[in-house]
Amino acid sequence: MGCPKHFSVQGGMGAALLRKPEVACDIMKTLRRNLNIPVSCKIRLLPEIQDTVDLAKRLEDAGAYAVGVHMRQIHERPHDKASWDRLAPVVSALSVPVLANGDVFTHDDIDKLRKISGASSFLVARGALANPSIFRKEGRLPIDEVVREYLKAAAETDNVFQNTKYNVMRMIPSSLEDAYASCNNYGYAKDAHVVTVPDLAATRNGLQMYSLWDLQNYYNQYQDQFRAKAAALEEDAKPEDQTLTTLPGAHDRYAEDTEAEAPKARNNRTGKPELFCESCKIQLSSDKDAKLHYKGRKHKNVLRRQTSATISKFIAKAQLEQNPATGESGKIVPEIRQHEGEDKRDAKRAKLENTTAVADNGGNVEAASPTEP
């Protein structure tokens, strides 16, 4: 119940539940009734302190094991200072742990907030994302050292490139001015090598990213290990009579830093070797032209169509093998279904065909049966 974003509040979620305490308490009771694990909740400050206390107590009575309090109101955002002084009444009114949240960026902030509010626990978001060493009692480490340790851990666990890049962007300075500003506490010495957000944003794969911190060898070492492990697992899982080994255009996550395979050489009538794309059936003039072609959209679209066609063939083959109702030609004989009202329409159509139109003296047309006199 701490999210104040418009899409969340408009949908009746997040901070919108602060205005509907009966719904929030019902959700808590339902979770406690159906789960056998502790359930906690998080709220924001209400305009009146007593209203915040009453809501927290109702959630405690509903079964909350702990209550987190973001020390900002619904309309306030991160640039607004958190109201640390308004948390103490909530802490003193509850018997369950109260988790304080808002503007905690250093270990000293934790000690100060504990003395002011009496909170037993703390929720840290932006401070931990900016520098995970915030929890060291000795103080935060220089950001360059933190980033290097994080990149090593990401390489050892084969973390996804996009996720690693996003997290590192939250740590490094946006510009050189920010890096050397004393108020930011990045820990860079004068004239030190600094990697900024624009530098990292320009990278397109893991090798380029790790090269910014001279860790490309460390990255390649673990990528080789994961690549070998993946190849061994694929070899063990391969059937003996496998017909299709690899679908056209199949993606290999460990091939992101390797060069594209050289296209096959094909001899023409003159005996001169020429570069030829078997998938697109076109001639390529040079190695440079071939690399551009293999990275282009047209070639990738052809591979996608080939993949779809191959999959469709396998599906059709499987259907033929599973469906015994096949004709002599091997095609599936479609089942003829009679529509519910088709019999009535046929009878009506036959009746109209057997009737004759007889014009009376007034020019009217009457439908008469041929059996009538």
Active site positions, annotated: 3
Name the nearest CA neighbour of 43 among 29, 32, 64: 64
- Using the structure block, give the residue that is written with the tokens 């072609």: 293
What per-residue string of b and e applies to 177-211 under the rule 16 or more CB within 10 Å gives b? ebbbeeeeebbbeeeeebbbbeebeebeebbbbbe
**For residues 275 and 284, is the Cβ–Cβ distance under 8 A?**
yes
Reduce the secondary structure of 51-84 to three states and give it as a string: HHHHHHHHHHHCCCCCEEEECCCCCCCCCCCCCH
- Using the structure block, give the residue that is written with the tokens 């960026």: 105
What per-residue string of b and e applies to 129-138 under the rule 16 or more CB within 10 Å gives b? ebbbbbeeee
Question: Any residues with CB less than 8 A from the CB of 346 and at least 6 apart, and which?
Answer: none
The DSSP element (H or E) to which 317 belongs, if any, is helix 297-322
Tokens (6 digits) for 116: 């002011």
Q: Name 332's bridge partners.
A: 326
**For residues 358 and 368, is the Cβ–Cβ distance under 8 A?**
yes
- Using the structure block, give the residue that is written with the tokens 């100060």: 112
**For residues 320 and 326, is the Cβ–Cβ distance under 8 A?**
yes
Q: How many residues does the chain have?
A: 373
Q: CA angle, corner 94, sides to 91 and 97, nearest 5?
A: 70
**For residues 82 and 102, is the Cβ–Cβ distance under 8 A?**
yes
